Amino acid sequence: MSTTLENIQKQISENPILIYMKGTPQLPQCGFSAQTVQALMSCGERFAFVNILDNPDIRSELPKYANWPTFPQLWVEGELVGGCDIVVEMYQNGELEPLIKEAAQRASAQQPQDE
């Protein structure tokens, strides 16, 4: 059985664009998660999410691992981008979309192609 920390590391390494949030993208359970997901969805790329309300172990361990106390947390290619304020600001000044699109392109380039 893997530890919570191993689960977090696996999620971050296997998902090029990952948001840890309260609720789901379709039904966010807090305003900050809603704003962050909205900015992320407007970039037009698929992303993974973890609902920390369904995962209390991740909710308690991730802030220590990330050295970031709050949720949501956006991770791109294994790096913590930040929370709501940072993501919304990056979206507004045009930095978020290229970051997300490049990560999605690199991820799709790494997928084995069907012959």
CA distances from 63 to 5, 56, 59, 106 (A): 11, 12, 7, 27
Q: Which residues belong to the annotated binding site for glutathione? A: 22, 59, 71, 84-85
∠ CA 12-36-98 to the nearest 5 degrees?
Answer: 70
- Residues at the annotated binding site for [2Fe-2S] cluster? 30
Binding positions: 22, 30, 59, 71, 84-85
Q: What are phi and psi of 72, to 5 degrees?
A: -75, 165
**Owner of token pair 């380039």:** 109
